[in-house]
A = this chain, B = another copy of it.
């Protein structure tokens, strides 16, 4: 053991995330669950194109980042993971909760492209679960022979919830069609992926009378739930452009 006790470390972001997700609510609970969710990681001006030379050899990258929006809220020794229906408490280190002693997240995302023009290197990524404005601490290549552990298992994964069917009103379909023009993201796919996973906290009762909403890209997405016996579905009501 080193004789020097190192008990305080300072880190500065290497860049920030520009994401389709403007609010924590409705962000997929893990990366990869919404393949059409795109983001750009904009490195600060300190980081020249040569710092990412060779990164294009990787199809996927690790993003290490700060859970900046929830960090002031602190953490609890035990949390209720949403995937467990909010019924079981688990130790914070046994979960991927955003509320952690050191609020550092890690997400594997698809690397779609690298843009080295201009003053800032930009990494175009998808399958993200990253909030807009997220400070990024590090980027690493995903190495399948190291990071993809064939023998690994996690008993909690067996309890994953099933996906909801997502329907669209005629109004919503028309809006998506017209808003799709000039839009880089496949809106129909992205909205379906996000709502199929049911963004509501699991401990919250599904309310058929309520209209739910969240800001996504540059619009407000509105939807409601239908309960049919043991099954539930989602209906997208409308998309309200901002500003």
**Interface residues, chain A, with chain B CB atoms under 8 Å away:** 1-2, 6-14, 16, 18, 30-32, 46-55, 57-60, 62, 64, 66, 68-69, 77-78, 88-96, 100-102, 104, 106, 108, 132-133, 135, 137-157, 160
Contact = CB atoms under 8 A, between A and B. Distances in A.
Contacts of A151: 59-60
A3 to B, nearest CB: 9
Which of A68, A132, A143, A155 has the most C-beta atoms of chain B within 10 angstroms of its own C-beta? Answer: A143
A96 B217 CA distance: 33
B90 A6 contact: no
Given A54-B94, A102-B11, A66 B6 contact: yes
Contacts of A90: 53-54
Given A139-B93, A144-B154, A14 B77 contact: no
A143 B137 contact: no
B9 A94 contact: no
B12 A10 contact: no
Contacts of A154: 57-59, 141-144
B59 A152 contact: yes
A160 B145 contact: yes
27 contacts: A2-B132, A6-B68, A8-B11, A9-B11, A9-B135, A11-B11, A12-B102, A30-B143, A31-B146, A51-B93, A52-B91, A53-B89, A54-B94, A55-B91, A55-B94, A59-B153, A60-B151, A60-B152, A62-B106, A93-B138, A93-B140, A101-B138, A102-B138, A104-B138, A141-B156, A143-B157, A145-B160
Given A12-B7, A60-B152, A154-B58, A91 B53 contact: yes
B104 A11 contact: yes
B149 A148 contact: yes
A92 B135 CA distance: 19
Given A9-B135, A14-B101, 9 more contacts: A51-B91, A57-B155, A59-B153, A59-B154, A60-B151, A60-B152, A106-B106, A108-B149, A143-B154
